[in-house]
Structure 1
């Protein structure tokens, strides 16, 4: 069974057209995903873009694996176990045609087996090949943003302070398959009286950023915490607030971040409706999960899970990533290699020029996610041999990942 996934080559406007349909949503304020049209809103000083890199005309460029893979901590092994569970739910014969590169579920499993052997014996180089992603500009430059799970203080019932609802998805859309717009819901009461309220927060802006994240922890007045997960969207086009504020010359593109947007909205309370309503897309929530879960329906691992466009990078893939290294003020001071797991997706993560790196839960994760907007490079790791042709159909053994590493403290 082969899924032919055409390469996405949209313009910037198309890239911004949908809110991320997934369990954990990206912190995406700037999106530059077209190879036909480079998004110059990302052209700020020291953005990490390598303009001297070799230009190619293929989605992936096959390369040798670097001899010094970054050794991850134990949480990466946990993430690999979840990756195995996801892949074992898929037909082994399934494959994805990514332009000239064909990737099968069996190959994704084989890559995990190779990496697991290396984790248990790091002196043995894994039998993997690195396929570099073309990036936004065909030079391998991939924007790496960050997302996180916020913790929001809420109440079960509305009062004078906690009066902004977080909603479940309505049962019936209109004749276009849409639900009311953001302005209609948040400012005109379009969902009032339908019993869709899950909880009430003290800030409409906090609600908006929870929508952007797509999922988050809420904490009620009695200390009870509950994870609200992605429960659907209203079907309206997504419009980035960061892009809107840049175009209006309210915030310089070099300064755009979650923090700067929040501060601008705090400083201009009389314009909150005007600006929030420029993004008509709206996200609804579902209840019941205890851990943040991505589009692969497995728990996300802080600093190792990533959201990708599955038509470019299959869910279940292992990525070698050159991620931005930032100082305490968010300035780029270099790059470092890191292994990431493709476990999530997003409507605003489109094409080969953008991935979203999961930072975790809470305020520290929010701070780090808000600083990420720079460029790095991404390689899809696959076995040297075509595993879908040479290996029998089998489920990966989760026990292999639980072996004790023979070298303690090797990080």
Structure 2
């Protein structure tokens, strides 16, 4: 998913109801009605809230951020100054997961490291849409331009790095460099998983990132053509300001936190807001998280993407996560009752 691309506009998008598409409902509930609220680590959530709340624009959020910086009791802080609001748009809730890939690479090309990560060329910034994925990877346009950031050893992992939008490259000497979203060619994203389903290769419930990767590797020629089915192409930039031990940058240009950051649709959920997650499924999750990221596929009031972490194990876990449940946004009290005036006590 491409999250950093949306940072500039996401911070400016107000909380709006897409009335032309769906009827939006706002329901205020009590903290006692949140399943598992009392057992959560509220201080962990408050620490993550403090990472990004200074970047929120509205006075009510900034006032609460200033209070949070006084190190109050975390649970009391949330219960005193917020109200949980269930925002629904007629669509069922869906929770998925995302992660930060870690690839093997080099700052110099070799027989092993043959697949480049590129910075965005000026032509792509000026022409929208620009060249397709096929044209970029098979044509002469990117050669001898000095746009390579690094070279990696696996084109399939590179494709999925573009989907995630950020990652780490492990160099031969063990050093890590981090890369983040640096632009795109302007073509719409097309799902290769959906294409495999359309072709009858897999049924919908069988498709995951690992399944797709394995199929492409077993079928190298057909697999390369399958990757070309997605004309969207992502360029990168080096992010040397973020230490390797911290998470990648999210849509608020701050590091995201494993298990406490969630990507949301900022048309419904303000970036930086606390959200209460009640995710069902084999690994149920009841947890207070912070909406610090966005994603091109994260659309809707009850759509959320949970940051699982970095590396292969996190990737496998994220790829298996697709569960129902519900999500409530913790709104400042006045803002909550402005959204749902009928709920005034």
TM bucket, shorter chain: 0.7 to 0.9
**Structure 2 residue aligned with 1:358:** 307
Measure the CA separation in 2 of the matches of 1:77 and 1:359: 19
The structure where helix makes up a greater share of residues is: 2
Q: Secondary structure at the match of 2:276?
A: strand
**Structure 2 residue aligned with 1:190:** 141
Change (3 A) 1:241 1:24: farther
Structure 2 counterparts to residues 11-410 of structure 1, below 5 A:
20-22=2-4, 57-66=23-32, 68-69=36-37, 70-72=39-41, 75-87=44-56, 90-92=57-59, 105=61, 109=65, 113=68, 117-119=72-74, 125-134=79-88, 138=90, 141-173=92-124, 176-287=127-238, 288-290=240-242, 291=246, 292-326=248-282, 335-386=284-335
Measure the CA separation in 2 of the matches of 1:129 and 1:276: 45
Contact 2:250 2:256 in 1 (8 A): yes
Change (3 A) 1:78 1:386: closer
Measure the CA separation in 1 of the matches of 2:42 and 2:232: 38
Measure the CA separation in 2 of the matches of 1:372 and 1:173: 34
Measure the CA separation in 2 of the matches of 1:368 and 1:326: 12
Aligned residues: 320
Q: Secondary structure at the match of 2:196?
A: helix
Contact 2:132 2:185 in 1 (8 A): yes
Q: Secondary structure at the match of 1:360?
A: strand
Measure the CA separation in 1 of the matches of 2:186 and 2:4: 14
Deviation at 1:366, TM superposition (A): 1.0
Measure the CA separation in 2 of the matches of 1:236 and 1:224: 34
Contact 2:216 2:222 in 1 (8 A): yes
Deviation at 1:326, TM superposition (A): 2.5
TM-score (norm 2): 0.82
TM-score (norm 1): 0.70
Measure the CA separation in 1 of the matches of 2:109 and 2:235: 18
Deviation at 1:350, TM superposition (A): 2.1
Deviation at 1:214, TM superposition (A): 0.4
| Unaligned segments of structure 1, at least 5 residues | 1-18, 26-33, 38-55, 93-103, 328-334, 390-411
Measure the CA separation in 2 of the matches of 1:120 and 1:60: 23
Q: Secondary structure at the match of 1:172?
A: helix
CA-atom RMSD in angstroms: 3.2
Change (3 A) 1:61 1:74: closer
Contact 1:156 1:198 in 2 (8 A): yes
Change (3 A) 1:174 1:345: closer
Deviation at 1:66, TM superposition (A): 3.0
